Amino acid sequence: MTTIGILGVLHDPELRQRYGLTMELIEELIVEFNPDVICGEVLPSSWDKFIEDPNNRGYWGEPASEYWELIFPLCEQRSIVFEPIDWVELDVWTDFDPFNQYAEPQKEQLENELDRWFEKQLAAGDTNSIPFNSIAFDQVTKLKYEWLEQLNPQAHVFRWECRHLIMIQRIKNAIKRHPGKRILCIAGADHNYMLCEGLGEDKEIQLVYPLGSFC
């Protein structure tokens, strides 16, 4: 049986330090899980560029800093296979901003409401020994995206549902390539509940979330 772990992270260095989901903790969790494979929130095209030139840091803020500073070097040091699983169509991504169809001042009001949702997530993030990896955090996050879906269903399908269909399928393809191995999926913590829902019904895998529950 293949063991799949899910680790939600924060992409912002300041927030990582403020809420305790530090690089040191992330490294500790990865080493403790001892994966054979890491499936990371990285575009395949960016991974290809990195393989060609390790100094090529991608584009548009992707991949996030934790990959350059920790995960890629750790994979090399510990002979962990890396599988990129993200999907974003950069040329049309901003065209599907959920607030595009709204005019001012309503757009500003909705953006402020989104900021309040983020504050609710931060408040729920410190409810487990691993910050932002808990049922409480996931429940708030799911409610946030249900709210976004109501505002703009088309944007939600493109940016959230289609993205996760592809991410989860890439994880499943990695499982096929590495049967019986320990696979750790690392993505922004907002993705936790979608990955759990997408993988949790597969009887051929052992799903570990939050990390630490496998001990």
pLDDT at 60: 61
Specify the pLDDT at position 203. Answer: 85
d(CA 77, CA 191): 27
Nearest to 30 by CA among 76, 83, 75, 86: 75
Output the tens digit of pLDDT for each of the chain's 215 residues: 999 999 999 999 999 999 999 999 999 999 999 999 999 999 999 999 889 988 877 666 678 999 999 999 999 999 999 999 999 998 999 999 999 999 999 999 999 999 999 999 999 988 778 999 999 999 999 999 999 999 999 999 999 999 999 999 999 999 999 999 999 999 999 999 999 999 998 888 999 999 975 43
User: Residues 6 or more apart from 134 whose CB is under 8 A from it?
Assistant: 124, 125, 127, 128, 210
Sign of CA dihedral 55, 61, 67, 70: positive
Q: How many residues does the chain have?
A: 215
**Contacts of the segment 199-203: beta carbons below 8 A, 24+ positions apart:** 199/4, 199/6, 199/168, 199/171, 199/172, 202/172
The reported pLDDT for the residue numbered 15 is 94
**Strands (DSSP E) along the chain, which ranges?**
2-9, 37-40, 81-84, 182-188, 205-208
Q: What does the pLDDT read at residue 136?
A: 95
> Degrees (nearest 5) of the Cα angle 102, 105, 109?
85
